[in-house]
């Protein structure tokens, strides 16, 4: 892996309004699990906190949108004993003027989609869609874990992260799948779940002996750009040691990965979200998750070799 994706700048992500106990908001983004463009802003979702983050990449200002919570609890972790209750938002995409944030589908609690178009956010239960994805074995593999989403060529593209625990019958699979936006629109209007029209299982290779697995994606006129991390996690629920991350242009026949570098050394960050910068060709915004609720997630300005 000779190409480098070079980190130019890091920005810790602190909420402009600071912490507020009344709505269970910490002072910083505890995790950053997905990223997309929204006009001149970036939208960040978190897998362990019920807040959208609206980020100005030019200034680093980070505003928050609290998500609906029946009991007022909006942060989830092992110390609180409520990790299993989190909706696990792992990917986000802008589609037809609306933000769609997808739960990973790795448990029944995580089979929801967050919909937001600037007003009050709302949850969209999606067990039918996740059942379809899980039953598509060459997409879901041993454990479904939807970690990336992008819109390209009138299709919604989803990326399964192959970090599930393999079984004797079924391996963990990284895969790309797409469904027509016309079918997605009908589903969001109350119709049946959209069917997958194409599925591509993929072997992403390794970093320092650990498999790369998809964590996010974005698209431009030239195609899909994918993000992956090498994390030695035992399954789709628990974290593991991170060796680093990489970025690639996706092709059905495979991808050539460029490792993320920080200065003169490979970065050890767990990169979880990517948004290409349309104002600067060859650059992308990437968010990284420290897997530590006491440390802020970071926004990276990255120069791409592709």
Per DSSP, the three-state class of 6 is strand
Of 49, 182, 186, nearest to 114 (Cα)? 49
Distance from C-alpha of 147 to C-alpha of 142, rounded to nearest angstrom? 15
pLDDT of residue 165: 84
Query: What domains, with CATH codes, occur in the chain?
Result: 4-303 (2.120.10)
Distance from C-alpha of 48 to C-alpha of 85, rounded to nearest angstrom? 9
- At 204, list the tokens: 């992403």
Q: Average pLDDT for consecutive 10-residue bins of the chain (306 residues)?
A: 88 98 97 96 97 95 97 94 92 97 95 96 97 96 96 97 88 96 97 96 94 97 95 77 94 86 97 97 95 94 93
Of 181, 183, 195, nearest to 97 (Cα)? 181
**Would you tell me how many other CB atoms lie within 10 Å of the CB of residue 23?**
14
pLDDT of residue 235: 75
pLDDT of residue 61: 96
pLDDT of residue 2: 58
Question: Kind of pairing, strands 210-220 and 223-232?
Answer: antiparallel
pLDDT of residue 114: 98
- How many alpha carbons lie under 13 Å from residue 101 in its C-beta half-sphere? 31
Give the single-character DSSP code of 115: E
Give the single-character DSSP code of 22: G
pLDDT of residue 167: 87
């Amino acid at each position: 892996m000779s190409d480098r994706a070079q980190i130019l700048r890091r920005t810790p992500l602190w909420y402009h309004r600071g912490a507020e106990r009344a709505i269970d908001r910490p002072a910083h983004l505890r995790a950053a699990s997905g990223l997309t463009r929204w006009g001149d802003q970036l939208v960040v979702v978190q897998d362990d906190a019920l807040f959208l983050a609206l980020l100005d990449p030019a200034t680093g200002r980070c505003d928050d949108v609290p998500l609906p919570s029946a009991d007022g609890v909006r942060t989830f972790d092992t110390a609180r004993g409520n990790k299993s209750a989190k909706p696990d938002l792992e990917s986000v995409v802008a589609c037809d003027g609306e933000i769609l944030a997808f739960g990973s589908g790795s448990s029944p609690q995580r089979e929801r989609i967050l919909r937001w178009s600037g007003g009050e956010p709302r949850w969209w239960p999606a067990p039918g869609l996740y059942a379809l994805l899980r039953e598509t074995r060459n997409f879901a593999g041993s454990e479904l874990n939807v970690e990336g989403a992008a819109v390209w060529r009138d299709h919604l593209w989803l990326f399964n992260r192959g970090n599930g625990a393999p079984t004797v019958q079924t391996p963990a699979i990284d895969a790309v799948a797409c469904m027509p936006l016309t079918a997605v629109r009908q589903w969001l209007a109350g119709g049946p779940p959209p069917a997958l029209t194409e599925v591509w299982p993929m072997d992403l290779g390794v970093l320092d002996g650990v498999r790369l697995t998809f964590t996010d994606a974005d698209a431009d006129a030239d195609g899909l750009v994918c993000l992956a991390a090498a994390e030695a996690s035992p399954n789709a629920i628990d974290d593991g040691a991170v060796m680093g991350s990489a970025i690639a242009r996706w092709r059905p026949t495979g991808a050539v990965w460029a490792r993320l570098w920080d200065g003169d050394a490979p970065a050890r960050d767990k990169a979880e979200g990517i948004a290409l910068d349309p104002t600067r060709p060859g650059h992308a915004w990437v968010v990284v998750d420290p897997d530590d609720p006491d440390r802020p997630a970071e926004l990276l300005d990255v120069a791409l070799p592709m």
